[in-house]
Structure 1
Amino acid sequence: MQISKVHKGFLFLLTLLSFGCQKVQKEVVHDSYFGQVIQDPFRNLEYLENKDVLQWIHKENSVTTSYLNTIPKQQDLIDQQIAHDQKNKYFISRLNYTPNGMVFFLKQTANENRAKLYYKKNTDSSEVELFNPKDFDPQSKDEYQISYIKPSWDGSKIVVSLIKNGDENATMFVLDVKTKKKLSGSLTNGIPSGGVGGVQWLADNTTLYYTYFPNINNKSSSTYLNGKAILYKTGTDFSQIKDVFSTKNNPDLGLKSEDFPTLSINNSNFKYVIGIVSGATQFQDAFYLPTKQLFEKEQPWKPLYKKEHKVKTHDFIGENDIIYLTAQNAPNFKICKTSFTSKNFDHPEVLITEKKDEVIKYLTVTSKGIFYSTVKNGVIARLFRYHKGEEKEITLPKPSGDIKLAKNGQEIIISLKGWLSKTQRYTFDEETNSLVPYNIFPDNGHENNFADLTIEEVTVKGHDGVEIPLSLIYQRDLKKDGTNPILMRSYGAYGSSMIPTAYYPFLLYVREGGIYAVAHVRGGGEKGDAWRNGGYKTTKPNTWKDIISCTEYLITNNYTSKRKIAIWGGSAGAVGVGRALTERPDLYGAAILSRGILNTVRIEAGINGANSAKEFGTIKDSIEFRGLYNMDAYHHIKDNTSFPATLVTTGMNDSRVPPWQSFKFAARLQEANTSKNPILLKTEFDSGHGLQSTKKRGFETIATALSFALRHTGHPNYQPEE
């Protein structure tokens, strides 16, 4: 139905009047921590099955939808994404190579809402469709998506992982590549796409491993406790699974209930399997075991290295030599060598020393040598080869912000990308010491043309004098007159970096006349291990102070002005963005907090809490508690404060951050806000942490966020009709 201008204006007025009217009943709880009493006014919003809470969530959704519908041009943003997608023909993801040259991948064409599974017998052969997720349960109204794949070493079988409604608790099964038929029932209680070891095949191409969580269907603080690394033999009953690495199976190893026991199997012929104590930590303890002993009654794991050795990744040469990347006494990382014979991680042979202004990021070993890539300030990447004792830089075909390395047998596949260039793959030519295009998908549409845009990489002096990298993308003819709207994103947690990526919606924002900014704040990995430790637990205040410093730099240098900046943080990135918002609400015109950690004092009470405590701290320790309280955005909302327009989004199936973190923050912000700016809460009942969604949902979500940001940073084309 077409809405007249008068009706649109009336609807907008009604929506404005409705802000703050959806009151939720408060249940004030007082908690005492080490002599400090903290008032929690909305503890009742943690009760997700309470009918009053659910009613309030639905009412908030209604208010939010009504308001967002008053912002014009959202459909135009969706249409532009669709048009760009059509030009690219298709999107490739989850590339997997087998030693015999087969290639498995997910492919999603411009007209498809979900990706399908394909393979090629070799890089030059035609692709074969293996599996379409819509065929998994045709009678279901749920939209299943492929979240993970893992072929066996010989390519005869492949594990397919499916998720629905954003819940990372996957349904997995084994598919016969030749017949395209299932070889197993459902393999349950795993999250292979969640960075927990994935799936690994053993040399027999029949037995596989993954990490099994017995409590995964219990959405509580115990969901991810007592995980175990299990073996499953294809074709057998699932009850025959074998626990080979866990707190229960190996009580002498010192594993804790919140640890994630994972296995690493380097290749089909390698005589050892590595057991890694994973979780929300930068570095881990590792053990090793002869592979044949996995099938014995007991598994006598032996220590390989400790987390104090700061090993980030490792690879092997032959049956004995270990090549590894470490931050031990080298915050920018170095490449070292030891062996299974000596296991000398305290005094190894150093092959590549730490570089002064660059972080060694990725490493892989082939018969042609050790290949590794570096990055400066998280955005300027270089590629090197170490062979026969000599280190040599490899010339790149174009500047790159990120260089990833993979192996296809003994051939190395190098992937380059940047802020304005999509991923392009290459192989290495030893004779010329250069890269050759890897044209496995030669017909994949057009090369992006962003000649009208430019990238500016600057450093900003922080509150303590530390230089913070800040990436800016804007139109070449932009005038620095203080009027430009800015969308600034940051993360700053877990040692993860904001990697340069040509994500079209953010470049679409730039073409709307805005500046897209990425603040590479402390807590991330852009400048190495020291950078991560600079925004970790008790040093976390540096994260939001870095965001504020970057904001003030943009204002001082006339890129923009107060209230014309929208900040956006998701998941752990919301810790910094949330505290920047509560610390300096006067700087911002809008804030977007997506599935965020916003109530850190209560993080251990929610799903994945015990693991998250490894990154943020625990309330059981007096010093770490103070750190948690300092970074808690919910508890730093001050009454009678004028806050900018804020959009808080979450998913009810989130298995990483409890949705009630968003509920409590939004309710408290609404209560304390004295401005007329909207404080909106949007809850999706059929989504999770937002890591994987259908194409249609993705287009709509980003259009909503961008239009909200543009509306509240003053873009004239996004103002409602009055």
Structure 2
Amino acid sequence: MRTAFVIAASLIALAACSPEPAPEANGVNGAEVEAAPRGPSAPVYPESRASDQRDTYQSAALGEVAIADPYRWLEADVRVSDEVADWVRAQQDVTNAYLEELPGRSRIAERLTELWNYERYGLPSERGGRYFFTRNDGLQNQSVLMVQEGLDGEPRVLIDPNTWSDDGTIALAGSVASSDGSLVAYLIQEGGSDWRTIRVIDVDTGQVLDDEIRWVKFSPLSWAKDGSGFFYSRYPEPAPGEEFTSLNMDQAIYFHALGTDQSEDRLIQADPDNPEVSWRGSVSHDGRYLVINSSTGTDGNGVWILDLDAEGAEPVEIFQGFANNHSYVGNVGETFLFRTDLDAPNQRVVALELSDPSVRRDVIAQGDFPITSASHAGGHLIVQTMRDVASAVTIHDLDGALVREVELPGLGVAAGFASNPDSAETFFSFSSFNQPGALYRHEIDTGETEVFRAPELTFDPDDYVVSQVFFESTGAVQVPMFIVHHRDVTPDGARPTLLFGYGGFNIPMRPGFDVRRLQWMEMGGVFALANIRGGSEYGRDWHDGGRLAEKQNVFDDFINAAEHLIETGWTSPANLAIEGRSNGGLLVGAVSNQRPDLFAAGLPGVGVMDMLRFNQFTAGRFWVSDYGSPQDPAMFDVLYAYSPLHNIPEGQGYPATLITTADTDDRVVPGHSFKFAAALQAADTGEAPTLIRIETSAGHGAGTPVSKLIEETADKWAFIAWHTGLAIE
């Protein structure tokens, strides 16, 4: 039975920005009625010291300009600076006191724990007749790596990261089995950091070998064909105290031979004269070649191929420069298949010969919708496409002729379809907003599909309605948006609604399952996902339409999505909350600044908030390809115009804001959120609270224990429920 969560009409009428408790209601002629729940008291913020720091930039419009940065000191690592550590503790005390007074917070956590308690599986991979996959029994902080002998074998635990720490903050961040399935190299992540440590385990004995590789980040793992070792990428060891803040430069590819010390690893590819270039290598399916990718940012890569069987061979350049994106699909001998957006904004699959890689022929031509993935499996090509954001999958022969379309369970997201070129099977997952991921096994020759693993659910997916709408935005562009809700919820102009967006880095927002969103809908809220420009929902043109000088389109799209929800009768500004993470946190900060009248509450998570200094820390320099450089006078003007930290409006009401970050986030360093919180609290933005929730021993998101995810979600949902008028029984 669905837990009873209802929308209380008495709370809908509350001013969305007021943190004060609702007055007690009195009945007619003195009759007593139930009082509205009391909420938290207005927070008293800790003092944030303001310095006289100023920096000089070059503006294309204004020439030399000096920009104040009074909270520069908050960029320091909390582990190094006592002053920042004291500030964090003071902020947490204020935030915790406010959150503890929110109605329904403990009930949200309790119900979310119930909903989260279902089996979840990762996609299996087959090596040497063994199947490797991850499993979570429901509430395990970290998923466990399983192995089974053959399709009918009994799964057994190979690696259980839940035994590595008491609080679940050490995670298994990936694993790759050798071609014969006898060894598994795996990545260890501590405290949510992007840094990884590589270890190796013997599958038969369960013994962890002595091999240990450190300072690995943004790296694939790829075994040599004979299992003698593996290729990986690493950075130089950072200086003490700078592990979580210093720029990531001088990445290189190495080969590690099993049984040797990391100091003996063989350097494969590096470019000391260009330390900003990143390098990653993966062994081809036949084991003969190393496919090398290079990049300087998040958009565009070069490709080389190194013949591992030819002694003294030099890499052959396949795709030059960083203007386009290319992904290895497979090869038959010296004929290679790549997925590329070169001369194809929606991507295509091309074939080329290693002897003359400049000659390329289309195998799968670009179509009306973007290709998102292609794999060489079972002597076929399996091509995944986004059709108006939802998944479609087709199977072709190696000449590109269509064999069949794979029948999917509905409107949602398919993932997987990787396999070996000579394998008869492949696996994929499928999920939707109202359906958790199930795993399927697909026979490539026959087209038969069967369930491999599927979770038992604690809710009925048919209780939820998934619809897709389109609205007009800047430049008369039609933007899609998914709207999802419980069947009992209908438009009434005042539905508490959560609008989510991202809009960047060529990353699409897909209609997949998230148990946290399901709970918001079970509570009576509406969830909307806007597929705004900056992602890849409609290929490279969609991405280009929301980056660099076109970034304002992203914010316009999101604002227009909110206005569409209001105009079509779903909600109102007093009942509308917005959420985004990372680049999406930037989105929430920017649109809150630009249209504070449009939103009741905002949840900017691990956001990029200082657009003038983002490229000074860890991976931030990679983002110049999407944002542009603040050292470029023309892009300075663009960045400064929307930077959340520098455009906080004063003298008007601002949405209630709960900023979330983590102390070990070395992707978007927490200084972004610290400075934004200090600036918001110091500004005249009205009575709505500005709070910052700082998770400990956590990072940008990956590897966060389930227990911490539940706690954070309970805090966020209780916060926006109170400020959008959603009452919780």
TM-score normalised according to structure 2 size: 0.89
Between the aligned partners of 1:336 and 1:145, the Cα distance in structure 2 is 38
CA distance in 1, matches of 2:313, 2:654: 57
Q: Distance in 2 between matches of 1:713 and 1:135?
A: 41
Q: Distance in 2 between matches of 1:133 and 1:161?
A: 11
Partners of 1:457 and 1:9 in 2: CA distance: 36
Which residue number corresponds to residue 165 of structure 1?
A: 191
- 2:449 alignment counterpart: 436
User: Does 2:334 match 1:320?
Assistant: yes
Contact kept, 8 Å, 1:225 with 1:258, in 2: the verdict is: yes
From the superposition, tell whether residues 484 and 448 of structure 1 become closer, same or farther in structure 2 (CA, over 3 Å): same
Deviation at 1:713, TM superposition (A): 0.6
Q: Does 1:207 align with 2:207?
A: no
Q: How does 1:278-677 map to 2 (within 5 A)?
A: 278=295, 280-292=297-309, 300-307=314-321, 310-344=324-358, 348-356=360-368, 358-386=369-397, 389-409=400-420, 410=423, 411-429=425-443, 434-439=447-452, 441=453, 444-446=455-457, 449-677=460-688
User: Which secondary structure state, in structure 2, belongs to the residue aligned with residue 458 of structure 1?
Assistant: strand
The whole-number CA distance in structure 2 between the counterparts of 1:553 and 1:318 is: 50
CA contact (8 A) 1:142 1:164 kept: no
Which residue identity is paired with 1:353?
A
Partner SS state of residue 615, structure 1:
helix
User: Quick check: 1:180 aligned with 2:202?
Assistant: no
- In structure 1, the residue matched to 2:27 is none
Residue aligned with 2:124, SS: strand
Matched, 1:18 2:43: yes
> 2:409 and 2:123 mapped to 1: Cα distance?
24
Structure-2 change in CA distance of 1:678 and 1:306 (3 Å): same
Matches within 5 A, 1:668-687: 668-687=679-698
Give SS of 1:531's match: helix
- Secondary structure at the residue paired with 2:440? strand
SS in 1 for 2:276: coil
What CA distance in whole angstroms lies between the structure 1 residues aligned with 2:73 and 2:98? 26
Cα distance, 1:68 vs. partner?
0.5
Which residue of the other structure, out of 252, 272, 286, is the alignment partner of 2:289?
Answer: 272
Cα deviation code 1:455-497 (max 9, x no counterpart) = 1101110022111111110122323220101111111111001
Distance, in Å, in 2 between the alignment partners of 1:145 and 1:390 is 43
Q: What does residue 197 of structure 1 align with?
A: 219
Matched, 1:77 2:134: no
Structure 1 residues not aligned, in runs of 5+? 1-7
Give the match's secondary structure for 2:461.
coil
5+ residue gaps in structure 2?
A: 1-20, 24-36, 59-63
Preserved contact between residue 426 and residue 435 of structure 1 (Cα < 8 Å): no
Where does residue 26 of structure 2 map in the other structure?
Answer: none
Report the Cα distance in structure 2 between the residues aligned to 1:481 and 1:613, rounded to whole angstroms. Answer: 43
CA distance 1:95–1:616, shift in 2 (3 Å): farther
* Aligned-pair CA distance for 1:652: 1.1
Q: Which amino acid in 2 is paired with 1:209?
A: F
- Tell me how far 1:62 sits from its aligned partner: 0.4
User: C-alpha distance in 1, partners of 2:400/2:668?
Assistant: 47
Residue pair 1:280, 1:494 contacting (<8 A) in 2 also: no
d(CA) in 2 for partners of 1:110, 1:480: 34
* Pairing 1:681-696 to 2, within 5 Å after superposition: 681-696=692-707
* Deviation (angstroms), 1:223: 4.1
SS at 1:550 equivalent:
helix
Match of 2:34 in 1: none
Q: CA deviation at 1:447?
A: 8.4
Pair 134,424 (structure 1): closer, same or farther in 2 beyond 3 Å: closer
Alpha-carbon distance change, 51 to 641 in structure 1, aligned in 2, over 3 angstroms: farther
Provide closer, same or farther for how the CA distance between residues 479 and 438 of structure 1 changes in structure 2, counting only shifts above 3 A: closer
Identity %: 23
- Distance across 1 between alignment mates of 2:230 and 2:505: 29
More relative contact order, 1 or 2 (CA 8 Å, 6+ apart)? 2
Any conservation in 2 of the 1:94–1:148 contact (CA below 8 Å)? no
- Measured on the aligned residues, the alpha-carbon RMSD in Å equals 2.4
Flag the 1:91–1:538 CA change in 2: closer, same or farther, 3 A. Answer: same
1:609 positional shift? 2.5
Alpha-carbon distance in 1 for matches of 2:685, 2:497: 24
- 2 CA distance for matches of 1:364 and 1:448? 34
Which of 78, 89, 92 is the matching residue for 2:121? 92
Amino acid at match of 2:95: T
Q: By how many angstroms is 1:714 displaced?
A: 0.9
CA distance in 2, matches of 1:258, 1:307: 14
Q: Do the aligned partners of 1:383 and 1:396 also contact (CA within 8 Å) in 2?
A: no
Confirm or deny: 8 A CA contact 1:221 1:609 kept in the other structure: no
Match of 1:261 in 2: 279
Amino acid at match of 1:289: L
SS of 1:693 mapped into structure 2: coil
CA deviation map 1:146-177 (0-9, x unaligned) = 11111111111111222222223223211111
Kept in 2, the 8 Å contact 1:395–1:435? The answer is: no
Q: Which one of 41, 56, 66 corresponds to residue 70 of structure 2?
A: 41
Does the 8 Å CA contact 2:415/2:428 hold for their aligned counterparts? yes
Q: CA deviation at 1:241?
A: 1.1
Deviation per CA, 1:628-652: give whole Å up to 9, x if none.
2233111111232311100011111
Q: Distance in 2 between matches of 1:170 and 1:28?
A: 38
AA partner of residue 150 (structure 1): V
Change (3 A) 1:369 1:17: closer
Structure 1 residue 41, shift from structure 2 partner: 2.5
Structure 1 residue 619: deviation in Å?
A: 2.3
What is the deviation of 1:105?
2.0
User: 1:430/1:170 Cα in 2 relative to 1: closer, same or farther (>3 Å)?
Assistant: closer
The count of residues paired between Structure 1 and Structure 2 equals 684
Does the C-alpha gap of structure 1 residues 446 and 63 become closer, same or farther in structure 2, counting only changes over 3 Å?
A: closer
Residue 3 of structure 1 is matched in structure 2 by: none
- CA 1:609 to 1:83, structure 2 compared with 1: closer, same or farther past 3 Å? closer
User: Contact 1:270–1:319 at 8 Å: present in 2 too?
Assistant: no
2: distance between equivalents of 1:429 and 1:237? Answer: 43
- Which amino acid is 1:160 matched to? Y
Trace 1:62-141 onto structure 2 (pairs within 5 A).
62-86=93-117, 88=118, 90-93=119-122, 95-98=124-127, 100-136=128-164
**Taking structure 1 as reference, are residues 94 and 171 closer, same or farther at Cα in structure 2, changes over 3 Å only?**
farther
**Is residue 223–residue 230 contact of structure 2 (8 Å, CA) maintained in 1?**
yes
After superposition, what is the alpha-carbon deviation per residue over 1:433-468, rounded to whole angstroms, capped at 9, x for unaligned?
Answer: x441142x36x4248622121111011100221111
Q: Check conservation: 2:116, 2:515, Cα contact below 8 A.
A: no
TM-score normalized by the length of structure 1: 0.90
Deviation at 1:136, TM superposition (A): 4.4
Amino acid at match of 2:41: L
CA separation of 1:39/1:22 partners in 2, compared to 1, >3 Å: closer, same or farther?
same
Deviation at 1:682, TM superposition (A): 1.3
